Structure 1
């Protein structure tokens, strides 16, 4: 009888000890472990620092605009307001842009022409990837096949045709124009695109991409569609 009691007591203590150990490990061990290596963490830190730098730059630009507006509003409020509206239209892509930049021509590959293969439109997925590659650079103004790309531009398939801003683009050759803001930025973008693996993706689709040398003047068309301001309302006059 004594042995039976001791055995049960020992078993109870064992279960209690096991549960205590499991609870201790649960409390002290994080829900998920960070398995990234040092290089991945450094890359993440670099991205965060770049984002922080961009935000600071944008805040500085807004402060300059505000100071300029306040200074000008004392002398000529109408002129200050007009200049502000023009700047906002330019940032929104509603005006034609002329400045340093480069042109990219997307054409059927020579192999496709020689073998008589059908040349189809550039797929929306490939076009979106290409635009994202270009937009890695800040201060870029871009048009594809004469259609201005802005923040809200949709690139999608509609009834089997690739469309930009709801309008179908032509079958290659297609002209891409990029205003880079300065010759220095245009040179950087040129070198980046020449070495980008995105060009190989075009080749798989029987297309070749000719990235032309930067020029002092490239004209990018204005956005010609009506802006949809679904979440904005006109301020009421006091």
Structure 2
């Protein structure tokens, strides 16, 4: 009888000891903490605020467009709609654009030329990183090796060649043209690119960026591809 009681008491003590050990271990392990410094957190916060500001600007622009349509008669509404279509065509990169901007020459580095290192097509991920750097600035239009880059564009590797909109990008040297809304914005972009670490990324691929100073008139061409309306139809008048 005593052995049975002692056996049960031992089992209870083992269970209690196990539970205490688990509780102690869970209290001992620290919570996962954010180990980033204050500047990294401030940088992320600044990016989120910038995105929030851009979204608010787009909402205000859409509200103004809607208000314009509602306040106009039928004839003026058609004119406003036509102007909106023109803006969308420009944003999609279908139309030509001339304005203040910079021209960038993507060239082989002097060392690669001196040592006879062969230069192949620019890597698609490198070109994408450059585009992402430039897209920090809003209201710009870009042309890469004569190919218009817009919100509809894509950078891919096809059969070993880097392409923009499905068209091969030439083996360096080639030019990248960027047009901004004002000469002041072009100067900001120019200074930003001069100090950007993107130069190191290009240099690792035996390439350099030769960035010209901002000029008043840079011409970039619209996309060669034409977009057709496949689904919308104009209703007869009176319907």
Partner residue of 1:204?
204
Give the structure-2-normalised TM-score: 0.83
Which whole-Å CA distance do the structure 1 matches of 2:179 and 2:34 have between them?
41
Report if the CA contact (8 A) 2:91-2:151 is conserved.
Answer: no
Question: Which residue matches 2:56?
Answer: 56
Q: Distance in 1 between matches of 2:117 and 2:72?
A: 61
Distance 1:6 1:236, change over 3 A: farther
Distance 1:73 1:215 in 2: 42
Stretches of structure 1 lacking an aligned partner (at least 5 in a row): none
Deviations 1:115-165 (A, max 9, x none): 333232212121111111111212221110110112232212222222111
- Matched-pair contact (CA < 8 Å) for 1:73–1:80: no
In the comparison of the two structures, how many residue pairs are matched?
A: 234
- Alpha-carbon distance in 1 for matches of 2:201, 2:154: 21
Cα distance in 1 between the residues matched to 2:133 and 2:37? 26
- Whole-angstrom CA distance in 1 between matches of 2:220 and 2:25: 61
Per the TM alignment, residue 105 of structure 1 is displaced from its structure 2 partner at its CA by 0.7
C-alpha RMSD of the superposition: 3.1
**1:77 is matched with which residue?**
77
Alpha-carbon distance between aligned partners in 2 of 1:196 and 1:204, rounded to the nearest angstrom: 15
User: What is the CA–CA distance in structure 2 between the aligned matches of 1:217 and 1:107, rounded to whole Å?
Assistant: 23
Counterpart-to-counterpart distance in 1, 2:5 and 2:98: 93
Flag the 1:25–1:98 CA change in 2: closer, same or farther, 3 A. farther
In 2: Cα distance, 1:208 partner to 1:131 partner:
15
8 Å contact from structure 2 (residues 143, 176) kept in 1: yes
Matches within 5 A, 1:28-107: 33-39=32-38, 40-107=40-107
Work out the CA distance in 2 between the residues paired with 1:15 and 1:73: 83
Partner of 1:234: 232
Q: Which residue of 1 aligns with 2:168?
A: 168
SS in 1 for 2:118: coil
- In structure 2, the gaps of 5 or more residues are none
Query: 1:19: Cα distance to partner?
Result: 3.7
Distance 1:38 1:236, change over 3 A: farther
Q: What is the aligned partner in structure 2 of residue 149 from structure 1?
A: 149
Question: Deviations along 1:158-215, whole A, 9 cap, x unmatched?
Answer: 2222211111122222110001212222111111111111112222322221111111
How far apart in 2 are the matches of 1:187 and 1:235? 44
Q: Give the direction of change, closer, same or farther, for the CA distance of 1:174–1:29 in structure 2 (3 Å limit).
A: farther
Structure-1 separation of matches of 2:46 and 2:208: 33
Change in 2 beyond 3 A, CA 1:125/1:23 = same
Q: Specify the alignment match of 1:140 in structure 2.
A: 140
Separation (CA, whole Å) in 2 of partners of 1:131 and 1:73: 42
**Cα distance between partner residues in 2 of 1:37 and 1:10:** 49
